Amino acid sequence: MTNQKSNRPVVLVGCGRLGSAILEGWLATSTVDPGDLIILTPSDKPATEAARARGARINPPLDSLANARALVLAVKPAKWREAIVPTLDPLPQDVAVVSVMAGVKAADIAGIANRPVARVMPTTAVAQARGVASVWSEDPEARGLARSLFEAIADVVDLPDESVMDAATATAGSAPAFVYAFVQALARAGEAQGLSRDAAERLARGALRSAGAGAETGAPLDELVARIASPGGTTRAGLDAMEAGGDVQRAAEAAVNAAVARASEISG
């Protein structure tokens, strides 16, 4: 049964920024054979053209969905109902719906799809097979299928309950933008201290790469901080300044709380 399912096509509905990133990651890692890919999208994107060139089917007749093993829903949350409804008649009953949409509850999708649902929240670095993805489903087979679609392109984190999916989305899915914003602020601060704009941005980007390399070692975050922040040194002085006013913690909490609140508004 498992082998038969693995040869059945995967349907990607939507190919915006996140859908394109997922597609790029699949193509780079051969997670899904291009000949087993069906992509439903209202507009051509570079990722869809690359997939087409390797044998993927773009917007074929809907009866081609009849043997699908997974439908990955990567549309904007406000558009998911109109995107999924046309696919339901041809889809087999044992297909799993894998949603990568923020804020949309699995029960809402299952209520319309009448099929098992897994929720996944990946970062766009899945395009380079360097992402992280939170996964939840109450259906073990759907969860396993979702994991198999993302394990090669992301560090997959299983969540114990859907109630923490919005927190996971804010902590990982939205967080790269928060980190970039902080790095941008560091570059501006360096510029204010006399660096040229080009030098400040290159140095700040380089610092981000260095931090990423450290994070990939798997060492505890406290240890990574301590490796750089020697007592009495310049880094320790900067950290003390941030911690004294609670600026870093306050900014992080504000960003995560706002993202979680917005996810709740979307789901409502």
How large is the C-alpha radius of gyration of the chain?
21
% of the chain at pLDDT higher than 70: 97
pLDDT at 267 > cutoff 90: no
pLDDT on residue 1: 34
In degrees and rounded to multiples of 5, residue 154 shows phi and psi of -155, 155
Residue 267, both tokens: 């789901």
State pLDDT tens for residues 210-247.
Answer: 998 998 898 999 999 999 998 999 999 998 888 887 88
Residue list for the binding site: 41, 74-77
State pLDDT tens for residues 151-177.
Answer: 999 999 999 999 999 898 888 878 888
Are the CB atoms for 205 and 183 separated by under 8 Å?
yes
State pLDDT tens for residues 83-129.
Answer: 999 999 999 999 999 999 988 999 999 999 999 999 999 999 999 99
**CATH architecture classification, 175-267:** Orthogonal Bundle (1.10)
Are the CB atoms for 148 and 123 separated by under 8 Å?
no
Residue bearing the bigger pLDDT, 5 or 232: 232
Q: What is the pTM of this model?
A: 0.83
Confidence of residue 4 (pLDDT cuts 50, 70, 90): very low
Are the CB atoms for 100 and 124 separated by under 8 Å?
no
pLDDT on residue 121: 94
Residue list for the binding site for NADP(+): 41, 74-77
User: Which amino acid is residue 192, in one-letter code?
Assistant: A
pLDDT on residue 2: 38
pLDDT on residue 105: 94
Indicate the Cα dihedral angle 13, 149, 93, 102, nearest 10°: -50
Cβ-based burial of 107 (10 A; exposed 0-12, middle 13-18, buried ≥19): exposed
The secondary structure of residue 91, as a DSSP letter, is: S
Measured CA distances, 210 to 124, 184, 188, 213 (Å)? 19, 15, 19, 5
The secondary structure of residue 174, as a DSSP letter, is: S
Q: What residues does each domain of the chain span? A: 2-160, 175-267
| Four-way CATH pick for 2-160: 3.40.50.720, 3.30.1330.20, 2.10.10.90, 1.10.10.60 | 3.40.50.720
Confidence of residue 252 (pLDDT cuts 50, 70, 90): confident
